[in-house]
Structure 1
Amino acid sequence: MRLHATLRATLAAAAAAFLVMLLPAQPAWAHAKLVKTDPAGGATVSAPLTAVVFTFNEMVKQQFSTVVVTGADGVSYSDGTPKSVDKTLTQPVKPLPAGAIKVVWRTVSGDGHPLEGQFTFTNAAPAPTSAAPTSAAPATSAAPVVPDTPTPTVATDRTGDSSDDSGLLWVILGAVAVVLVLAGGAVWWRRRTPDQG
Structure 2
Amino acid sequence: MRLRSTIGGVLAAAVLVLFVPGPAWAHSTLLRTDPADGATVSTPLTAVALTFNEPVKQQFSTIVVTGADGKSYVDGKPHAVDRTLSQAVRPLPAGAVTVAWRTVSADGHPIEGRFAFTNSAAAAPSTDAQAPPTPGPTTQAPTTQAAAPTPAAAAGDGSSGLPWAVAGGVVVVVLAGGAVLWRRRSGAGRSG
TM-score after normalising by structure 2: 0.60
* Counterpart-to-counterpart distance in 1, 2:125 and 2:112: 35
The one-letter amino acid paired with 2:48 is: V
Superposition deviation, residue 32 in structure 1 = 1.1
One-letter code of the match for 1:82?
P
Could you tell me which residue of structure 2 aligns to residue 21 of structure 1? 18
Give, in angstroms, the shift of residue 129 of structure 1.
5.0
List alignment gaps of at least 5 residues for structure 2: 128-192
Given candidates 63, 69, 83, the residue that maps to 1:67 is: 63
The unaligned stretches of length 5 or more in structure 1 are 134-197
Tell me which residue corresponds to 1:9.
6
Match of 2:143 in 1: none
Deviates more, 1:28-37 or 1:67-76: 28-37
1:59–1:109 Cα contact (<8 Å) kept: yes
Deviations 1:86-125 (Å, cap 9, x if unpaired)?
1100100000000000111001111211010011110011
Asked if 1:100 corresponds to 2:60, the answer is no
Higher RCO (CA-CA < 8 Å; seq separation 6+)? 2
Alpha-carbon RMSD: 2.0
CA distance in 2, matches of 1:14, 1:96: 59
Mapped partners of 1:52, 1:127: distance in 2: 16
Q: Which structure shows the higher helix fraction? A: 1
Which of 116, 119, 126 is matched with 1:123 structurally?
119
- How far does residue 127 in structure 1 lie from its aligned partner after superposition? 2.4
| Greater Cα radius of gyration, structure 1 or 2 | 1
TM-score by length of 1: 0.59
Give the equivalent residue in structure 2 for 1:42: 38
- Equivalent pairs: percent with the same residue? 62
CA distance in 1, matches of 2:10, 2:25: 25
Runs of 4+ with deviation above 4 angstroms: none
Residue 60 of structure 1 contacts residue 110 of structure 1 at CA under 8 Å; is this kept in 2? yes
